[in-house]
Amino acid sequence: MDSPTHSAEDSRRRELGAFLRSRRERLTPSATGISTGLRRRTPGLRREEVAMIAGVGTTWYTWLEQGRDVRPSVEVLTALSQALRLDTAEQRHLFILAGRPQPERRVDAPEKVDSPLLHMLQSLVLQPAYVLGRRWDVLAWNSAAAAVFGDYGLLEGDARNIVHMVFTSPQHRRLLVDWEELARAVLASFRAESARYVGDPDFERLIALMTRSSPEFRAWWPLRDVARNLSGVKHVSHPIAGAMAFEHMSLSIDDDMKLIVYTPLAEQNSIAKLQKLLDARPAERRSA
């Protein structure tokens, strides 16, 4: 007799059920305010208790844990996440297993770059690098990035934003060789990533500001071009060092943050030129 086969969808449902069960069994009743008797033997919460807290039927939730073909909505998944006290990573995992898009959360607190990432950033001595937030604001940078692209510490608010710099800064425009090609690529990538935040007030304010400030942005934004550029080569015309070439790569840190790293190429003697720029920087300005 042939062994039974399971589709990828079956496997995903079983994994979803196993994940829910593991989170349910690790959660103590006291953490959810449920009083228990001394004779309780069930590890963690019972299925009916999770169903009650989440506001769903016990039979339906049991089917979900059993890997049956039930399809929880985004609202139900959110309720289950809250009932099971899932953290951010666990909630994201739950939505992926359920095949549902996770609702975007509104982030009111200032974005913060953790110390390990800052330490790694500063260790990239001969590689200009910076960290971007969800709206492409520059959150942190190293000395090499300041030497090549300018001191981000002198910029405040929206001015310390990649889209803003590319489209409104005369210095940045002169720095970038093939500015129009790069600006279009930046805009297409920004639109693709900002789709997750349609209606977000911070994004809407930035887009409105750019529409008023840049005729190119005003003309190209309605075209709705999208792209996903993770790597490439960027040529710059530095006011001191002259022509330089860098290979760049975008690395995702989490859903909202990314690290951009530029590696100088042998082309146009870029490595030696970068070293001279760094050597010329005052010691107090060699970190950010």
Q: Read off the pLDDT of residues 194-248 as tens digits, 9 standing for 90 and up.
A: 888 878 899 999 999 999 999 999 999 998 888 877 688 999 999 999 999 999 9
The predicted pLDDT at position 286 comes to 45
In this predicted structure, the answer to whether residue 169 has a pLDDT above a threshold of 80 is: yes
State how far the Cα of 263 lies from the Cα of 226, in Å rounded to an integer: 25
Instruction: Please state the rounded mean pLDDT for residues 41-65.
Output: 87
Contact call for residues 74 and 82 (beta carbons, < 8 A): no
Rg, Å, the chain Cα set = 25
Structure tokens at 287: 């970190």
11 contact partners, CB below 8 Å, separation of at least 6: none
Q: List the one residue out of 250, 249, 241, 248 whose CA is nearest residue 270.
A: 241
Specify the range with the lowest mean pLDDT, choosing from 51-55, 145-149, 155-159, 216-220. 51-55
Q: List the one residue out of 218, 141, 220, 223 whose CA is nearest residue 181.
A: 220
Contact call for residues 124 and 98 (beta carbons, < 8 A): no
The predicted pLDDT at position 105 comes to 60
pLDDT-based confidence at 184, cuts 50/70/90? very high
215 contact partners, CB below 8 Å, separation of at least 6: none
